[in-house]
């Protein structure tokens, strides 16, 4: 059986990014690996369905996210809620807290944020997807993407502030 160079190139291009996204969702190396491999397995069987090859990255991230939702066995839908004006008054985070934060701490903080808020945040900051692409990947409206990212940032700031409070004591 001969190898498919196009498939191999796709894996080389996107494996790391998909794995990172899977890890940010699950917090588990094993689960992230399984999600990533399952995504490529689905791609191998359904790639003929993709009409526009330029959308392959979004298709892969969408597929991984859908598989994650299946694994979680819940399709909890969060109603769109506008951000109140109080959200503009984010807590102050001291520079020394930000400088001390490491990858493990950040992953721990991400794990404390509800998945519906965590996924858009990770796709935006770690995977460099646009709001529109995130909306397509997660099948949510643009306004919901914006509000979920804003709420995730608020939660991260709160967690950072709590860390500062605990270390200052």
Instruction: Give the CATH number of the domain where residue 27 resides.
Output: 1.10.1740.10
**pLDDT score of 78 more than 50:** no
**pLDDT score of 165 more than 70:** no
Q: What is the DSSP letter of 89?
A: S
Q: Do 93 and 58 reside in the same domain of the chain?
A: no
Half-sphere exposure of 21 (CA within 13 A, CB side): 32
Q: Do 89 and 163 reside in the same domain of the chain?
A: yes
Residue 43 domain flag: yes
Q: Do 12 and 43 reside in the same domain of the chain?
A: yes
The pLDDT score that the predictor gives to residue 109 is 80
Of 49, 72, 95, which one is at a domain's C-terminal end? 72
Of 23, 42, 72, which one is at a domain's C-terminal end? 72
Q: Do 58 and 111 reside in the same domain of the chain?
A: no
Confidence of residue 14 (pLDDT cuts 50, 70, 90): very high
The pLDDT score that the predictor gives to residue 60 is 93
Half-sphere exposure of 104 (CA within 13 A, CB side): 0
Total of domains in the chain: 2
For residue range 65-74, what is the model confidence (pLDDT) as tens digits?
A: 988 888 775 4
Q: Do 68 and 90 reside in the same domain of the chain?
A: no
Give the C-alpha separation, 71 to 121, whole Å: 20
Q: Do 152 and 112 reside in the same domain of the chain?
A: yes
Q: Do 67 and 123 reside in the same domain of the chain?
A: no
Residue 78 domain flag: no
Task: Look up the CATH number of the domain holding residue 98.
Answer: 1.10.10.10
Q: Do 123 and 66 reside in the same domain of the chain?
A: no
| Helix, strand and coil in the chain, % to nearest 5 | 75, 0, 25
Confidence of residue 48 (pLDDT cuts 50, 70, 90): confident
The pLDDT score that the predictor gives to residue 157 is 82
Give the C-alpha separation, 99 to 38, whole Å: 36
The pLDDT score that the predictor gives to residue 82 is 54
Which residue pairs, CB below 8 angstroms and at least 24 apart, start in 24-28?
A: 24/107, 24/110, 24/118, 24/119, 24/122, 24/126, 25/65, 25/68, 25/115, 25/118, 25/119, 25/122, 26/68, 26/71, 27/107, 27/110, 27/111
The pLDDT score that the predictor gives to residue 36 is 93
Question: Mean pLDDT score of the chain, rounded to an integer?
Answer: 79
Domain range holding 16? 5-72
Q: Do 94 and 161 reside in the same domain of the chain?
A: yes
């Amino acid at each position: 059986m001969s190898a498919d160079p196009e498939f191999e190139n796709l894996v080389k291009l996107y494996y790391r990014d998909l794995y990172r996204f899977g890890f940010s969702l699950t917090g588990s190396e094993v689960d992230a690996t399984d999600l990533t491999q399952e995504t490529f397995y689905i791609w191998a069987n359904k790639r003929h369905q993709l009409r526009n090859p330029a959308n392959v990255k979004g298709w892969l991230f969408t597929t991984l996210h859908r598989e994650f939702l299946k694994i979680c066995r819940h399709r909890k839908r969060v109603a769109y809620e506008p951000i109140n004006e109080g959200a503009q008054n984010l807590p102050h985070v001291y520079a020394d807290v930000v400088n001390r934060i490491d990858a493990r701490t950040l992953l721990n903080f991400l794990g404390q944020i509800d998945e519906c808020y965590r996924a858009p945040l990770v796709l935006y900051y770690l995977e460099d997807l646009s709001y529109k692409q995130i909306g397509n990947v997660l099948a949510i409206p643009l306004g919901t993407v914006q509000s979920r990212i804003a709420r995730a940032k608020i939660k991260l700031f709160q967690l950072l502030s709590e860390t500062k409070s605990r270390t200052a004591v």
